[in-house]
Amino acid sequence: MALTLAGRSVVVWGIGRHWGGVAAADFCEREGARVELLDAKPASELGAPGAEVVKRGWTAHVGDASHPTYRAADLIVASPAIAPRALPADGPPVTSPEALFFAAHRGPRVCVTGTKGKSTTANIAATLLGWPVGGNSYEPLLMLLARHGPDVGMVCELSSFQLWYLRDERPHVDVAVLTTLAVDHLDWHPDLAHYRAAKLSLFGWSRRCVAAGDLRALLPGDRLIEPVACDGDSFRDGAGALARRDDLPLPGAHNAANAGLAIAAARELGLDRALVAERLRDVRALPHRLEPVARGDRHRFIDDSIATTPESAMAAMASFTGEVAIILGGSDKGASYVELAGAVARRGARPVLLGQTAPRIAAALQAHGIDAPRAGDMDDAVRLAVAALPQGGTVLLSPACASFDLFRGFEHRGDCFRAAAQRAAQGG
């Protein structure tokens, strides 16, 4: 894509709370565009990014595509959070912050997508390669571009939303990674086929691809590279052992699988096999991803607030031995909770329900004879989870749902859990 922004009127639609709108506005302004912003909320209600908009003197309008400023623009830079149904067919041309990034970036790229596991896999790949990582749950890619320049190799975490907006641009990718593929975001995508198509589109633009198991059949066969396997004790490729399993300081078989994909991508891009173990030991857990946040006399508290699908909650439960109480529930993305309920029953976990989806999860659990208590807020949920483990064990926040019923996002939900867990651990 070749975009000339100088002298054009650009509306950045979506300020958001994660700096994506600010990064897009800054990029467009530096390229010579006349920039205005549009959001459903006033900038004063959008925290630090909103304050930055005011500080920079950008005009920010409250509204949507029906606002006169939208129609008068030469170009719309739409936040990926804006679903396709919100885009008028007869409006100005629409692009995205990610499209602007890929048009300007010239260095090598690893792009990681998947229903779950993409943030951790991107983190591991970035640590192995020594590259910056951005996109989706990280800082915006345009902020990385501004800081590191266009020629530095980058690891890009891409959501289905971001990939949908890139469908016509088809940017070159050196190695693309698919972690998992399940049901998600049916509140944004019109159906499952649309969601899957957005995810899989990445692999049509990529020089090389890696995925594990049955997912390999979904990718172009002539571009596949072998994932690195973990046999329980070590990571191995066709030439032998690369590292010990305990070189990776992240629990769970799913994280070993994530690391295997990341190692394969890094090796494809030139990482010496002699460096794999050393760099795996440098990997650090990301916040809100199986993160220990408190420990009492008999209970430990694990924040896995990023677990916004049933599959990720099931993987989290399998990562720990001993007694587990799991806090489930949140805002609805259209997922089924039947398999999750079966996994809870087989694991013998003690569920506590919270939020909008509590009735649906409760119905699925009742099919297995499980009556789960319902909490009114996070403090109540933690209290009920502790009470469910009188002999001690692991209290796990792994909600299997999004967070926008009671919280501002999964980070806010995790922060609330941490505070409640620390109070509980101290007996408060």
Looking up residue 212, the CATH number of its domain turns out to be: 3.40.1190.10
Domain containing 76 equals 9-95
Do both 112 and 251 map to the same domain? yes
Structure-block tokens of residue 180: 């998992």
Question: In angstroms, rounded to a whole number, what is the distance separating the alpha carbons of residues 305 and 137?
Answer: 13
- CATH at 38: 3.40.50.720
Do both 142 and 213 map to the same domain? yes
- Does some domain include residue 286? no
Q: What is the pLDDT of residues 181-216, one digit of tens each?
A: 988 888 899 999 999 999 999 999 999 999 999 999
**Beta bridge partners of residue 224, listed in sequence order:** 209
Q: What is the pLDDT of residues 368-389, one digit of tens each?
A: 999 999 999 999 999 999 999 9
Q: What is the pTM of this model?
A: 0.87
Which among 53, 68, 95 is the end of a domain? 95
**Beta bridge partners of residue 378, listed in sequence order:** none
Backbone angles phi, psi at 84, to 5 degrees: -55, -35
- Does some domain include residue 64? yes
Question: In angstroms, rounded to a whole number, what is the distance separating the alpha carbons of residues 45 and 54?
Answer: 11
What does pLDDT average to over the chain? Answer: 96
* Largest interatomic CA distance in the chain: 68
Do both 319 and 420 map to the same domain? yes
Total structural domains within the chain? 3
State how far the alpha carbon of 86 is from the alpha carbons of 66, 80, 196, 317, in Å.
Answer: 10, 11, 20, 37
Residue 365 has pLDDT above 60, yes or no: yes
335 closest CA partner among 365, 305, 357 = 357
What's the rounded mean pLDDT across residues 299-325? 95
Do both 87 and 106 map to the same domain? no
Kindly tell me the sign of the dihedral angle through the C-alpha atoms of 212, 217, 218, 221.
Answer: positive
Which among 95, 119, 141 is the end of a domain? 95
Contact 302, 322 (CB under 8 A): no
Residue 4 has pLDDT above 90, yes or no: no
- Does some domain include residue 2? no
Q: What is the pLDDT of residues 27-55, one digit of tens each?
A: 999 999 999 999 999 999 999 999 999 99
Do both 129 and 271 map to the same domain? yes
What's the rounded mean pLDDT across residues 101-110? 97
- Does some domain include residue 367? yes
Do both 198 and 259 map to the same domain? yes
Structure-block tokens of residue 307: 């677990």
Do both 239 and 162 map to the same domain? yes
- Does some domain include residue 51? yes
Residue 3 has pLDDT above 80, yes or no: no
Percentage with pLDDT > 90 across the chain:
94
Do both 296 and 389 map to the same domain? yes
Do both 91 and 106 map to the same domain? no
Task: Find the angle CA(38)-CA(40)-CA(43) to the nearest 5 degrees.
Answer: 65
Residue 201 CB burial class (10 angstroms; 0-12, 13-18, ≥19)? middle
What's the rounded mean pLDDT across residues 93-120? 96
Locate tokens 């990034």: which residue?
A: 101
Do both 91 and 104 map to the same domain? no
Question: In angstroms, rounded to a whole number, what is the distance separating the alpha carbons of residues 300 and 292?
Answer: 7
What's the rounded mean pLDDT across residues 351-365? 98
- CATH at 355: 3.90.190.20
Structure-block tokens of residue 81: 């959070």
Which among 47, 77, 95 is the end of a domain? 95
Contact 368, 377 (CB under 8 A): no
- Local confidence band at 2 (pLDDT 50, 70, 90 cut-offs): low
- Local confidence band at 352 (pLDDT 50, 70, 90 cut-offs): very high
- Local confidence band at 1 (pLDDT 50, 70, 90 cut-offs): very low
Order of strands, edge to edge, in the sheet holding 291-295? 291-295, 299-303, 393-397, 324-328, 350-354, 374-375
Do both 402 and 303 map to the same domain? yes
